[in-house]
Structure 1
Amino acid sequence: MTADIRHIVFDIGRVLIHYDAEIPFSRIIPDPQERDWFFANVCTHDWNVEQDRGRTWEEAEDVLIAVYPDHEDSIRAFRKHWHEMVPHAYDGSVAIMKGFIDEGRDVTMLTNFASDTFRLAQEIFPFLTLPRGVTVSGDIGLIKPDVAIYDRHTKDFGLAPSATLFIDDSAANIAAARAYGWNAIHFTGADTLKEELGKYGLLA
């Protein structure tokens, strides 16, 4: 790689911290088929994404309860037990991020996250307060892979796109970042991340 990387941007979910909605719901809805139906039809991925885009949990719950009143308790359980969905950090990638910060490199974060649950995540995982700053989709009403969120992050933090390296677990988000002009690494684990960083001459 020939890029002169001066800015490193981390995604958060499934890059720095684990996320799995199944964890509390394996208890809340013990039957696997019923649970699969619930996630496929009620608290769906598309429904959850709207909270990442800025919709309040109150509105989100009301929308579903109006359609599925018999599932009110389970619907409300999603936000109530959200903290259980982020059970641990990925120590390897967190160590890499901290290493960059300790070296004095410019580290920021760009994440699809609801505003309130992101603040909760910072309380659970204090290392999320260490980078220079963060763009949270729920705060600004933009969401990856919309090119506008990469542009917003670039401008808000004064990044040079060609000198920016983005790390994300989503192939779609990586493709959008590259199309915008950033360098990008598709995260699949800390060991492969180290290998990819080495290609940029970056050693955490």
Structure 2
Amino acid sequence: MTIKAVVFDFGGVLIDWNRDYLYRQLIPNETERRWFLDNVCKMDWVVQQDGGQSLEEGTAELVALYPEHEALIRAFYARWHEMVAGVLQEGVALVDRLDAAGVPLFGLTNWSAETFPYAWERFDVLRRFREIIVSGRVGVIKPNPRIFALMRAEIEKHLPGIQPNELVFIDDNLHNAQAATDLGWHGVHYTGALDTETKLRALNVPI
């Protein structure tokens, strides 16, 4: 078996994004903050924007549901950049080593089309990828098989005839990694760089 390309998720693997970085400032009480993030600005809502809904529309819908929390809801995207702490150095080092070894690299991320440019402009590691599929741009999110098909189609432009079992997909979300495995890829659940490196070596990926 030969692995011909490695596909990376970004958030939680290469980019340090966390809602708490902003909302610790806005809601100091941990119990109140957890309730707000679990029930109002919850991840199911964030995923709607990652899937292509505009930030304006998503915000308006949530404000209509929870008008008493309007200021906190509007802060989510108005101050979204405060949720991004920077790059995750261990993940970036993994990209560096794979790139140095000549392994073709691609990116597949659940990310709003409107906020992704902020990361693109600031984090040079994102320019190491030959192609990047951003869910908000294509209107479909992981773990939907359609987004993996779109990624594979982009990879085929560079590596004609690539087969699923020649692809590795690294994601910190277990469900997304499993979705790739179910499609015949080698899904790797990212829990840290060392563990991922061990899994890559087991797949004979040069690193």
Which TM bucket (shorter chain)? over 0.9
Q: Residue 74 of structure 1 aligns with which residue? A: 72
Q: Which moved more, 1:49-58 or 1:117-126?
A: 117-126
Q: Which runs of 5+ in 1 are unaligned?
A: none
For 1:18-167, what aligned pairs fall within 5 Å after superposition? Answer: 18-158=16-156, 159-167=162-170
Q: Which moved more, 1:132-141 or 1:31-40?
A: 31-40
Deviations 1:59-98 (A, max 9, x none): 0110011122221111111112211212021211211112
Letter in 1 for 2:143: P
TM superposition shift of 1:157: 2.1
| TM-score (norm. length: structure 2) | 0.93
Aligned-partner SS, 2:169: strand
Deviations 1:39-67 (A, max 9, x none): 12211111111011001100011001112
Distance between the aligned counterparts of 2:61 and 2:45, measured in 1? Answer: 10
Letter in 2 for 1:116: E
Q: Residue 159 of structure 2 aligns with which residue? A: none
Distance between the aligned counterparts of 2:97 and 2:206, measured in 1? Answer: 8
Letter in 2 for 1:63: E
Q: Residue 186 of structure 2 aligns with which residue? A: 183
Distance between the aligned counterparts of 1:137 and 1:167, measured in 2? Answer: 16
Distance between the aligned counterparts of 1:168 and 1:148, measured in 2? Answer: 17
Aligned residues: 202
Aligned-partner SS, 2:85: coil
Q: Residue 195 of structure 1 aligns with which residue? A: 198
Deviations 1:82-115 (A, max 9, x none): 1121202121121111222233221001111111
Aligned-pair identity in percent equals 38
Where has structure 1 moved over 3 Å in runs of 4 or more?
A: none
Q: Which runs of 5+ in 2 are unaligned?
A: 157-161
Distance between the aligned counterparts of 1:190 and 1:41, measured in 2? Answer: 32
Distance between the aligned counterparts of 2:189 and 2:195, measured in 1? Answer: 9
Contact (CA 8 Å) 2:55, 2:114: kept in 1 or not? no
Q: Residue 175 of structure 2 aligns with which residue? A: 172
TM superposition shift of 1:18: 1.5
TM superposition shift of 1:118: 1.4
